[in-house]
Amino acid sequence: MNNFKFCVPTDIRFGKDAIECLPEELEKYGKKVLLVYGGGSIKKTGLYDKVYSLLKDFEIYELPGIEPNPKLTSVEKGAQICKKENIDVILSVGGGSCIDASKHIACAAYYDGEPWDLVLDRSKVEKALPIAVVLTICATGSEMNSGAVISNEATHEKLEINSPLLYPALSICDPTYLYTLPKRQTAAGTADIISHVLEQYFQPNDGAFVTDRLSEGILKTCFKYGPVAMKESDNYEARSNLMWASTVALNHLLTVGKGGAWTVHPIEHELSAFYDITHGDGLAILTPAWMEYVLCDKTVDRFAMYAENVWDIAGDDKYEVAKKGIQATADFFKEMELPATLREVGIDSDKFEEMAEEAVRTSGVSTRAYFPLDKDDIVKIFEMCK
């Protein structure tokens, strides 16, 4: 078990009607609120009106229109409002993109230079506004961690900002807000949660037994309730279990004692960057192919363990057990109506080389991953997904 630091101070309020605490909690920080949200679905669902009725004694400024991959230009706009209006607290109502933008705004509000500097040099993050979250999509775990991914359109970069100052102070997680999610978002979100856990599970350190067992618990939860949420959009048990699984999947608990670079996420980021496909779709396509590609004497024990502990697959031949676990994973994504090939999302082989090169260049996939992959390996995985 590697040494680790674990300090996750976010105050989670989980459950139906948890939002009722909002005025009392926000008041701790002040009366001037920057409301950050996305494309307006919160107006259709009534959540926008609910927020205004709860915060009738507050002074609310708005930053609507946060994009699915939040852009630096939005962050700049938000930071300007915070500075000009002396905002006390940011209220982020939405999913991961909205929260990520809010995190960057929170520290940019106290920074005199260009907000992008804070992404390039984390040591410049010295102070941040408090952030409160009302979560409407479960996938990224941003509601209980300190990271955010921001896209700079001018430089074509998509990078992470991270600082202990960026943990949301408060996150309201009401599973009933997930009832109105389109099936495609439920599916893609679940694929993202699963991939977060797998990235951490398939990291080298067999001594972190306890962490692996907790990871398996989160995986079982996703595999059980993903299909239920697809079929019964308003199943509270399914939505609540998935929502909490999603938070725990990326609040550092599943990485303690372990370490190393992620694999499938950085490869998928290239698919999304070059073709603007849905992140969860890309993960569902790549994950089984990656598993198959790296299965070998060095990895088979862990893949067999995954199959046994998560999928209850038994057998004497560990390769056979491992392969059945990989097949079960692929079958699950199909059951979730997620794509299984690049063709299905309109990607041909034209940019395989270029994307593979970028994945190697911008991540630790070739150096610090569970099973390091070079450019040729990644091209081969793309080929498997055609």
Interacting residues toward a second copy by CB under 8 A: 1-18, 175, 207-211, 213-214, 216-218, 220-221, 224-225, 236-237, 240-241, 244-245, 248, 253, 256-257
The least distance separating a second copy from the CB of residue 330, rounded to whole angstroms, comes to: 23
Report DSSP state, residue 177: G
- 9 vs 40, which CB is nearer to a second copy? 9
Residue 86 CB, nearest approach to a second copy (Å): 27
Q: How far apart are CA 130 and CA 107, in angstroms?
A: 9
**Three-class secondary structure of residue 43 per DSSP:** helix
R_g over Cα of the chain: 21
> Residue 261 gets which letter from DSSP?
B
Token pair belonging to 373: 């992959």
Contact 97, 70 (CB under 8 A): yes
Residue 60, classed as helix, strand or coil, is strand
Total count of residues recorded for the chain: 386
If the CB atoms of residues 152 and 205 are measured against a second copy, the closer one turns out to be 205
* Nearer Cβ to a second copy (199/216): 216
Neighbouring-strand partners of residue 150: 159
Least CB distance from residue 226 to a second copy, whole Å? 12
**The residue to which tokens 């609910």 are assigned:** 50
Q: How far apart, in whole angstroms, are the C-alpha atoms of residue 92 and residue 26?
A: 12
Q: What is the largest CA-CA distance in the chain?
A: 67
Please state whether beta strands 59-63 and 32-37 pair in parallel, antiparallel, or not at all (unpaired).
parallel
d(CA 208, CA 202): 12
Q: How far is the CB of 273 from a second copy (least distance, A)?
A: 32
Shortest distance, position 198 Cβ to a second copy, whole Å: 16
CB of 225 to a second copy, least distance (A): 7
> From the CB of 212, what's the least distance to a second copy, in Å?
8
Residue 195 or 211 with smaller CB distance to a second copy: 211
In the bound state with a second copy, the residue whose beta carbon lies nearer, of 97 and 215, is 215
Q: Which two tokens stand for residue 203?
A: 């990291």
| 3-class DSSP assignment, residue 37 | strand
Nearer to a second copy, 14 or 274 (CB): 14
Q: Which is nearer to a second copy, 235 or 363 (CB)?
A: 235
